[in-house]
Structure 1
Amino acid sequence: MLVRLLLSTILVLLEGLTLASPVIPENHVLSEVLDYSTVYSDNSVAQAFVDELIALSHSSRNISKCDQCVTRLAVGKSLSLLRPDLVPRVFTEWCQRTKYMSNSTCLATFSRNTVKSSYTGTNFADMLSLMDPFGYDGQLYCNYKESACPKPKTPNVTLSHLWPKKEAKHNIAPVPAANDTFNVLHISDFHIEMDYKVGGEANCSLSMCCTPSSVNAFSNITSHGQKDWNSFYDSSYSDNSFVKGDLLDVFKNDSIWSPATTFGNYKCDAPEILINSSLNSIANFSSENNLDFEFAIFTGDLVDHDELSLTSYDVTVKSEEVVFRDIKNKLGDVPVYPVMGNHDTFPYGELAQENHGFLNYFSWNAELMADLWEDYGWLDAKQSQYARKHYTGFSVETKMGLKIISLNSNVWYKKNHYAYWNASQPDTFGQFEFLVNELVESESKDQRVWIIAHIPFSGDALPLPAKMFAEVVERFSPYTIANIFFGHTHLDQFEILYSGPGDDAKTIENVVASSWISQAVTPWVNNNPSWRYYTVDKKTFSVMNAYNYYTRLNDTFTNNGAEPVWEFEYSSRDGYNITWPETAPLNATYWHLVASKINGSVEYNQLYENYATRFSPYVPDCANTTDCSLNYCYLTSFTVDQYDDCVASVQKKQ
């Protein structure tokens, strides 16, 4: 019925063109409509659809923004079935002519595509051809992508058919060994800025700052800001040693208001020299303290944030190759188990399902990564082949017996177009079935598991995948799942899963699991660069402590080009002054106690913010602003719905 309605829309639009219209049989089929459409030129077909969208936007009838958005999707679906190649042209022109978004955002929203060409729009057109505009798909899209519809109710579905009944013994976490630990490095969110330019505009108003194209269009420049800054050197690392380069005369350019310094800026992504400095500090720390890392985890995002205008397929590939090369050079033989972030693909944030003909769009990245990881010795040939074949997730087993399951979080990312069709189904990518199968296997042989991914489920995820993941975690915790690790937010954070909905369930008796969210190396935006390592129990693979190291980036602005100083920040066991047994791991119960302190005290809320941003100059003032008011909601929510409900409750009380 829907297809016939959409085809009727096509005919109405086509018959409104000035060219003569042939007679169409009443029982026409799609092939006949396609033949019919060839009578008309691309321009006339495209213009008819553009005019229809503009008329909808300017309709004098009382049509809600939500209904307009859904109807646009229906019109777009009809075009995607007829002429998918015209979809990006039609929607981009409509968007720009009606000023629905900025010109660059219109282009990025409706015209981003595969590696073949930057702007032919296959992703949006693919989504339209498969989705149901009038159902949950359309409502979900119009809420998250265009903020036009209310958030639809999350479907009441389950994955419980995928696992056996939980035995009583699986409700109890294994007890750690007595003071027998090893060390694991956690690094995340490098976001290398390949075109970083010392002296580039660091206080820009357009695109990413600190690049040759960065400008400040708003400042009335009469003199340079930051006259006391003196770190403008063309420096680098060579053979793991810092080499101070030539001093650059950045102040001769009167159009630059705030010149970028050697090691980066709080409004910019990381220059390679900052990434090398962080890795160098890790290697030096390990050597100086005779502390070895059994392995490292990397939780995503190699590529910078300038995706709207300057990040191409070639830049994406080069960024991925350069950062992993630098990691290998600095960490040597330490195995690294990685995940890909939302920026680590082209186009940005996209990932298609394997079973609808779109796999070839993105398989290049899985193949490139698998080759690199195998070449560097991080995965063996069998593991590499699996990572190459199944790009939404793979697993590895460390030599100590721990299983690490790596998940590609673009599956649940709210900016991924392919996540918006058949969205009421719990597992269109097959990723959760893969995850459950791995967990069932590990549970059957008493094997502990770490799950690593990039995007946490309470923030930039879609609601249904978040709900499904929480269901899986609750089923396999605390016996099988030992730890969960994310990146993405650039903040030092954690999240707690409770059994039961609502704030009333946030009690120590209802604690189920928790996740670690790692700080970033990139300073974007307004954070100090940082990394951490864990001490891990050899028997249970539970985290016993985490040690956080950082550098005060603003110190490098006025140190005459010297290398950054990386220093100890705090340990997770001692930093919040929580009474906790020395022999107990830092599990979800521990983090519940921390979250309760943060919720009940401005002092602890401020301490959390200090750690989250690593004592950045831009850390919010919790005592005199409302900037910290939602921290407790974030820390005690494990899904999108839980976070939204908590925020609504806080706002209602304000």
Structure 2
Amino acid sequence: MLFGLVFCTVIALLKGLALGSLAISDSQLLGDVLDASDNFNDESVVKAFVDELVALSHSSKNISACDQCVTRLAVGKSLALLRPELVPRVFTKWCQITKYMTNSTCVSTFARNTVKSSYTGTNFADMLSLMDPFGYDGQLYCCYKESACSKPKTPNVTLSHMWPAKQAKHSVAPVPSANDTFNVLHLSDFHIELDYTVGAEANCSASMCCTPHSSNTFANITSHPQQAWNSFYDSSYMNDTFVKGSSVDAFKNGSIWSPATTFGNYKCDAPEVLINSSMNSIAQYSSDNNIDFEFAIFTGDMVDHDEFSLTSYKMTVESEELVFRDIKNKLGDVPVYAVMGNHDNFPYGELAQENHGFLNYFSYNAELMADLWEDYGWLGPKESQYARKHYTGFSVETTMGLKVISLNSNVWYKKNHYAYWNSTQPDTFGQFEFLIDELVASEKIDQRVWIIAHIPFSSDALPLPAKMFAEVVARFSPYTIANIFFGHTHLDQFEILYSGPGNDAKTIENVVASSWISQAVTPWVNNNPSWRYYTVDKETFSVMNAYNFYTKLNETFANNGAEPVWELEYSSREGYNITWPETAPLNATYWHTVASKVNESVEYNQMYENYAMRFSPYVPNCANSTSCDLNYCFLTSFTVDQYDDCVASVKSKK
């Protein structure tokens, strides 16, 4: 009885605080519950909290969805401070009882972590114990994780105290040399599907397709629409040679609507044979054309997109090891500088700060990657040790003098629970301090820098880190930062940073910097597999051109199991028909010119979409749909706020 009375008092206070009528500290809440809970077992505590959360969900007439979400966080925080191990049970039960999400999503979101499933409930409880539910933390979480609150205003903070004043010479990029270049390979987003199964359902209604657990429940299946397909072989590459495997009777199972073919499908992640085919095409092209790569960059994502219940610790590690092994086997002595993607961690998308008690959750991956990269000769002992200890970023100097800075983008990923506490602070992970220190050191010795990361800052990032990164880039461009490279979107894209706010600032005079966003090898979803390489000026490390290669995946469906044909898709200098000096790099001014054409012309918008998806059968028709309307916003936005403002402007004009 005592616990019930105190609990009801605490909840009433929480509700009042959510509505702005009361003020109470976490220590008061915790003290009340601590005093009362000693005499009650786990089931009583769980039931009391679940009942209150359910009652809160049923009070929609009296409290807004946003206030409900914030109050849930406060209720959860009081439990997380007292009994964090009960938070997953409480929130999973509440979610399922109220049908707040589907049963499986409730489990994947709130159930506790295990080594067999990438559930994130333990990370949710960690976040609750640290966050301020009634401040910016709670508003931010309820906006991006539950879509219950409007987007809160991004805090007006700065990192400018961390660098010296910008000298005049640092406002001008160094001039490239005369046609003296080298080559750099860019790979991204392999998403190896370890359980890819030839003949499995490739048009599934849930989970990842092309696997033993794929199924189609869209409609009653009476016939197979893909009877012309004949590429059903368990093929592989043995000692760099393609081996056409045994034939699979893909049509014997009448419940399969669209059987998975040998090299993949547009609704599936990449089978290893497709990844090996892409790497084989790179090696073959390099040999046939006498082209050597000075080094390669890999911008993340090795693990597939399957359900969290099927994404285990073992599968995550095995995917990472297999991908890097395959890259090493094909590239030999070519150094590879890599970043981890949002899928390349366990649990999915999570990464904690190093100094708040959760380091042991994620240090395994930094240690694994650092050891592997050092074993392969990609990092020296010093760089490897730093990458092992400080897993949010490391730097390496190439033999030619270029510095490559690798950043772990889970720091700013909107699905990372640890990014939602103390979120008004610009650098809780210490990553920007590391980045700025590296840039300041390079600027002092006139060294140019490449930055590589996985998630672009206007795509799936939180607003404040995006704003901070743009501030850093503006300070150190165009003199020190030569190029920025991302992956993640699976599309062939770019982004431009301008010096002024708003769409009116998107002029050639205001261009500051740009980033390259690489296409993916995985065809998921609706894209042709692709890779690229750059020709790079030896003196300035500016990109002079990019050559994009792809394979038409749909042509492998009915080719009787033959290898895919990889071919040049386009070069970035010639592909957009822009008049541009041969001696000028493909810098932000060049990409501003392209973006302006995309904005002004349906023809260029369509050209951009064709390249973005690599001429897949699913490229939208820009003349007859609204699918292309926001392309200009994406290309000319460098932060979350800039993109959101641009989209709002476009929609207001319709």
Name the TM-score class by shorter chain.
Answer: over 0.9
Residue in 1 that maps onto 2:618: 618
Q: Give distance in 2, aligned partners of 1:530 and 1:30.
A: 54
Amino acid at match of 1:580: W
**Separation (CA, whole Å) in 1 of partners of 2:231 and 2:195:** 18
The equivalent residue for 2:86 is: 86
Secondary structure in 2 aligned to 1:526?
A: coil
**Structure 1 stretch 640-649 or stretch 211-220: which is displaced more?**
211-220
Paired residues, number: 637
For residues 388-425 of structure 1, the C-alpha deviation after alignment (integer angstroms, 9 at most, x for no partner) is: 00000000000000000000000000000000000010
Please say if residues 9 and 75 of structure 1, whose CA atoms lie closer than 8 Å, have aligned partners that are also in contact.
no
User: Equivalent residue for 1:583?
Assistant: 583
1:114 Cα deviation from its structure 2 partner: 6.4
- Asked if the contact 2:116/2:311 (under 8 Å) is kept, the reply is no
CA shift at 1:119, angstroms? 4.8
Secondary structure of the residue aligned to 1:365 is: helix
CA distance in 2, matches of 1:652, 1:573: 35
Identity across matched positions, percent: 83
In the alignment, what sits opposite 1:539? Answer: 539
Residue in 1 that maps onto 2:187: 187
Please list the CA deviations of residues 121-159 of structure 1 after superposition, one character each: whole Å capped at 9, or x if unmatched: 220000000000000000000000000000000000000
Distance 1:328 1:28, change over 3 A: closer
Instruction: Write out per-residue CA displacement over residues 412-471 of structure 1, whole angstroms, 9 at most, x where no aligned residue.
Output: 000000000000100000000000000000000000000000000001000000000000
Matching of residue 448 in structure 1 with residue 444 in structure 2? no
Secondary structure in 1 aligned to 2:237?
strand
Q: Which amino acid aligns with 1:370?
A: A
Q: Is the 8 A contact 2:119 2:308 kept in 1?
A: no
**Aligned pair 1:371/2:371, yes or no?**
yes
Shift, 1:117, TM fit = 7.2
Give the 3 Å change call, closer, same or farther, for CA 353–10 of structure 1 in structure 2: farther
Deviations 1:547-590 (A, max 9, x none): 00000000000000000000000000000000110000000000
SS in 2 for 1:535: strand
After TM superposition, the structure 1 = structure 2 runs for residues 325-340 of structure 1, keeping only pairs within 5 Å, are 325-340=325-340
In structure 2, how many angstroms separate the alpha carbons of the residues matched to 1:215 and 1:353? 39
1:223-242 equivalences under 5 Å are 223-242=223-242
How far is 1:498 from its partner?
Answer: 0.1
2: CA distance, partners of 1:10 / 1:520: 53
Q: Which moved more, 1:98-107 or 1:500-509?
A: 98-107
Verify the 8 A CA contact 1:114 1:122 in the aligned structure 2: no
For 1:601 and 1:28, the matched residues in 2 are separated by 61
Instruction: Write out aligned runs for 1:429-448 (5 A).
Output: 429-448=429-448
Q: Deviations over 1:270-296 (max 9, x none)?
A: 000000000000001001110000000
The equivalent residue for 2:306 is 306
Shift of 1:223: 1.2
Q: Are the equivalent residues in 1 in contact too, given 2:413–2:419 (CA < 8 A)? A: yes
> Which residue in the other structure is 1:4 paired with?
none
SS in structure 2 at match of 1:309 = helix
> What code does the residue aligned with 1:44 have?
S
- 2:16 is aligned to none
Amino acid at match of 2:175: V
Q: Which moved more, 1:53-62 or 1:431-440?
A: 53-62
Within 5 Å, which residues of 2 pair with 1:71-220?
Answer: 71-113=71-113, 115=115, 119=119, 121-220=121-220
For the structure 1 residues 33 and 72, does the alpha-carbon distance in structure 2 shift closer, same or farther, using more than 3 Å as the test? Answer: closer
Shift of 1:637: 0.1
Deviations 1:200-229 (A, max 9, x none): 000000100000000001221111120000
Which residue pairs with 2:69 in the alignment? Answer: 69
Is 1:602 paired with 2:602?
yes
Residues 67-113 of structure 1, C-alpha deviations (whole Å, 9 max, x = no match): 00000000000110111111011001111111101111111212253
**Cα distance between partner residues in 2 of 1:547 and 1:47:** 60
Task: Report the CA distance between 1:41 and its aligned residue.
Answer: 1.1
1:498-537 correspondence runs (5 A): 498-537=498-537
- In structure 2, distance between residues paired with 1:460 and 1:466: 10
Point out where structure 1 has 5 or more consecutive residues left out of the alignment. Answer: 1-6, 16-26
2:81 is matched by which residue type in structure 1? L
Rounded to whole Å, the distance in 2 between the matches of 1:29 and 1:71 is 13
State the AA in 1 paired with 2:422: N
Which piece of structure 1 moves more, 251-260 or 119-128?
119-128
Q: Is the 8 A contact 2:136 2:424 kept in 1?
A: yes
Residue of structure 2 in register with 1:559 after alignment: 559
Q: Which residue of 2 aligns with 1:267?
A: 267
Partner of 2:346: 346
SS of corresponding position for 2:308: coil
Q: Deviations over 1:9-29 (max 9, x none)?
A: 5764699xxxxxxxxxxx989
Q: Label 1:118 to 1:309 Cα distance change in 2 as closer, same or farther (>3 A).
A: closer
Q: 1:354 to 1:204 in 2, by over 3 A?
A: same
User: For 1:113, what is the secondary structure of its paired residue?
Assistant: coil
C-alpha change, 1:327 and 1:603, in structure 2 (3 Å) is: same
Alignment-derived partner of residue 34 in structure 2: 34
Other-structure match for 2:413 = 413
For 2:148 and 2:166, the matched residues in 1 are separated by 42
- Name the residue aligned to 1:248: 248
Residue type at the aligned position of 1:147: S
Q: Distance in 1 between matches of 2:12 and 2:483?
A: 57
Counterpart position of 1:631:
631
For residues 444-483 of structure 1, what are the structure 2 equivalents within 5 Å? Answer: 444-483=444-483
Distance 1:575 1:32 in 2: 67
The 3 A distance-change label for structure 1 pair 118 and 521 is: closer
Partner of 1:50: 50
Cα distance in structure 2, aligned partners of 1:440 and 1:336: 25
Per the normalisation by structure 1, the TM-score is 0.96
Give the superposition deviation at 1:116.
8.7
Q: Over residues 341-395 of structure 1, what are the superposed CA-to-partner deviations in whole Å (9 max), with x where a residue is unaligned?
A: 0000000000000110101000000000001101110001111100000000000
Determine if contact 1:105/1:308 at 8 Å carries over to the other structure: no
3-state SS of 2:366 partner: helix
Tell me which residue corresponds to 1:362: 362
C-alpha distance in structure 1 between counterparts of 2:534 and 2:500, whole Å: 30
Q: Deviations over 1:595-639 (max 9, x none)?
A: 000000000000000000000000000000000000000000000
Is the Cα contact below 8 Å between 1:264 and 1:274 reproduced in 2? yes
| C-alpha contact (below 8 Å) 2:116/2:309 kept by paired residues | no
SS at match of 1:574: helix
Mapped to 1, the partners of 2:239 and 2:117 lie a distance apart of: 38
Q: Secondary structure at the match of 1:573?
A: helix
Match of 1:19 in 2: none
Matched-pair contact (CA < 8 Å) for 1:180–1:537? yes
Partner Cα separation in structure 1 for residue 442 and residue 7 of structure 2 = 52
1:287 aligns with 2:287: yes
The residue number in structure 2 matching 1:222 is 222
**Partner amino acid, structure 2, of 1:156:** N
2-side partners of 1:50 and 1:636: how far apart? 46
* Paired AA for residue 199 in structure 2: G
C-alpha spacing 1:8/1:612, structure 2 compared with 1 (3 Å) = farther
Distance 1:348 1:487, change over 3 A: same
Residue 445 of structure 1 aligns with an amino acid whose one-letter code is: I
Could you tell me whether the CA contact under 8 Å between 2:119 and 2:347 is conserved in 1? Answer: no
Partner letter of residue 121 of structure 2? Answer: G
Counterpart contact for 1:49–1:90, Cα < 8 Å: yes
Which sits farther off after the overlay, 356-365 or 28-37? 28-37
Question: Aligned letter for 1:127?
Answer: M
CA distance in 2, matches of 1:451, 1:510: 22
CA separation in 1, counterparts of 2:222 and 2:623? 36
C-alpha separation between the residues in 1 aligned to 2:536 and 2:594? 20
Instruction: Label 1:305 to 1:28 Cα distance change in 2 as closer, same or farther (>3 A).
Output: closer
Contact 1:104 1:308 (C-alpha < 8 Å) held by counterparts? no
Q: Which amino acid aligns with 1:113?
A: N
